[in-house]
């Protein structure tokens, strides 16, 4: 699973992602996010303005996103490393529509929600069923 289409499909077909952020004293925090989509090489996700994750991203926008399908036969996952940025109003509305295509049940309210775009720096593909168990790809290498 080293080509962009396979990576993109794996991410898109996942039920949720696990977001990793760091709090103000350097402790890592993990949480599931269902309201996301993939846009080119980047990930868009929605959350509330008043969450710890939003505050942590404001203080340190380096994040990791883990994608792993449930019930896989062999351990396999994809981790995206990048920087998260809050989208402006117009971009956020466009992103909300993309997220809604993937998760129609989710609602976006600009008074309550914020949408972040994670610009992908690198991707780690871990697949114990493959000949090469771990592969790290720079975002520039994805075609």
Q: For residue range 46-78, what is the model confidence (pLDDT) as tens digits?
A: 999 999 999 999 999 999 999 998 877 666 899
Task: Confirm if 97 and 103 have CB atoms less than 8 A apart.
Answer: no
| pTM for the structure as a whole | 0.91
Q: Which tokens in the block code for residue 84?
A: 């998260």
Question: What total of structural domains would you count in the chain?
Answer: 1
Whether 118 shows a pLDDT value over 90: the answer reads yes
Q: How confident is the model at residue 4, as a pLDDT?
A: 80
Question: What CATH code is carried by the domain that includes residue 43?
Answer: 2.30.110.10
pLDDT tens by residue, 128-143: 888 888 989 998 887 5
Is-contact 123 7, C-beta < 8 A? yes
Report, as an integer, the average pLDDT of 25-51. Answer: 94
* pLDDT value of residue 70: 80
What is the pLDDT at residue 114? 96
Q: Domain range holding 19? A: 4-141
What is the reported pLDDT for 2?
61
Task: List C-alpha distances in Å: 120 to 40, 84, 137.
Answer: 10, 9, 10
Q: According to the model, what pLDDT value does residue 5 have? A: 85
pLDDT band at 122 (very low <50, low <70, confident <90, very high): very high
Three-state secondary-structure class, residue 16: coil
What is the mean predicted confidence (pLDDT) over 87-113? 94
């Amino acid at each position: 699973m080293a080509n962009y289409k396979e990576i993109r499909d794996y991410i898109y077909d996942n039920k949720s992602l696990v977001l990793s952020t760091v709090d103000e004293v350097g402790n890592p925090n993990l949480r599931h996010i269902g309201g996301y989509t993939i846009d080119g090489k980047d990930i868009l996700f929605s959350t509330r303005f008043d969450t710890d994750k939003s505050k942590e991203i404001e203080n340190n926008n380096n994040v990791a996103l883990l994608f792993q399908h449930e019930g896989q036969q062999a351990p396999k996952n994809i981790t995206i490393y990048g920087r998260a940025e809050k989208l402006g109003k117009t971009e956020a509305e466009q992103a909300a529509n993309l997220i809604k295509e993937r998760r129609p049940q989710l609602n976006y309210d600009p008074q309550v929600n914020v949408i972040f775009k994670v610009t992908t720096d690198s991707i780690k593909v871990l697949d114990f069923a493959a000949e090469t168990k771990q592969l790290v790809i720079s975002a520039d290498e994805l075609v």
